[in-house]
Structure 1
Amino acid sequence: MLVILGCYAEKSAADWCWGLAASPVNAVVRLAVAASERLRPAGTAWLKAPVAPPDMPLPRIRREAAALLPGCRIRRLLFWRYLLVFRNDASPTGA
């Protein structure tokens, strides 16, 4: 099983509508994260992963994933994210 939680670039009207719905929730989450960072003891190391803005829209992600991972499922989520799930149900050879 392969599971990917990724971000997509907003390009379509549907993307903008989902973004509009996610914006208030995103603001609340950002405030909560900022508050928790202020409550963290001084000198506490916090690792941050390298990030880059998404550059691929969801329809292209769907096309490329379908070509590479036939039968995968992709669901649009809040916060400009998608969830890709692929199950390789092929039985091993020689078993």
Structure 2
Amino acid sequence: MPFNHNHRYHPLLLSLVPPGAKRALDVGCGQGRFARRLAARGLDVDAVDVSGEMVRIAAALGSPGPGKVDVRRVDVANDDLERNAYGFISCIASLHHMPFGTVMKLRDALHPDGVLAVLGLARPSTPGDYAVELAFAPVNVAARVVVAAGEWLNGGPDPTPEPPVEMKFPTMNELRRDARELLPGSTVRRLPFWRHLLTYRKPLA
């Protein structure tokens, strides 16, 4: 299992927020770290997760302002979402736990010119994919060592629970194929540490 590098991509995801966006949906919000970063940018954020424990933790942490964070337990794959409601939707390490067709519901929840940004896990498919992973393997090991040392110096691992993780995710080729079919005009960018970034902007008309 690759080390959890999701937080290092928060600045990249924030750079995708469209100018003038006022409302965001953070799918699979976990402890609400990214939702709070969106709120700090002034967006009102609906932070949702299927885990009641994660919702409890995120709700207790609240918002740094000026935007609000509304934390709710929602199963995005099965529950209804408000249509044409959001200027920005983020999915960080969450979409690969749902049917990929869920992106159609997320697409409909965007208002025109809104952006969907999916940071997820996908298995390499092409020689280029494998080359990226090979190049960053030493960084992954070094990150594990640094975090383990920090935990040791601070009295042990963080007892705060992380969301449950099922190690099952698609290949990059499967992801690229499904994105072309369901989100025409989207882009899929390969990132280090088994990550990808899928970006989609909803057409104005």
* Same fold, judged at TM 0.5 (above): yes
- Percent of residue pairs identical: 36
Q: Return 5+ residue gaps in structure 1 as ranges.
A: none
Q: Kindly provide the amino acid, as one letter, of the partner of residue 119 in structure 2.
A: L
In 1: Cα distance, 2:187 partner to 2:151 partner: 35
In 1: Cα distance, 2:156 partner to 2:143 partner: 22
Larger Rg: 1
In 2: Cα distance, 1:42 partner to 1:88 partner: 45
| Cα shift at 1:76 | 0.5
1:25 to 112, 129, 139: 139
CA offsets 1:6-45 (integer angstroms, 9 cap, x no match)? 1111343222211110100101111122122223356953
Q: Kindly provide the amino acid, as one letter, of the partner of residue 60 in structure 1.
A: E
1:40 aligns with 2:184: no
Aligned residues: 91
Is the partner of 1:36 in helix, strand or coil? helix
Go from structure 1 to structure 2 and tell me whether the alpha carbon gap of 1:35 and 1:63 turns closer, same or farther (over 3 Å shift): same
Higher strand proportion (structure 1 or 2): 2
Aligned alpha-carbon RMSD (Å): 2.1
Go from structure 1 to structure 2 and tell me whether the alpha carbon gap of 1:43 and 1:70 turns closer, same or farther (over 3 Å shift): closer
Higher RCO structure (Cα 8 Å, ≥6 apart):
1
CA offsets 1:52-75 (integer angstroms, 9 cap, x no match)? 324311111011011111111111
Matched residue, 2:199: 85
Matched residue, 2:42: none
1:76 aligns with 2:190: yes
Question: Which region of structure 1 is more displaced relative to structure 2, 56-65 or 36-45?
Answer: 36-45
TM, length-normalised to structure 2: 0.40
Q: Kindly provide the amino acid, as one letter, of the partner of residue 65 in structure 1.
A: A
| Cα shift at 1:47 | 2.2
Question: Which region of structure 1 is more displaced relative to structure 2, 82-91 or 70-79?
Answer: 82-91
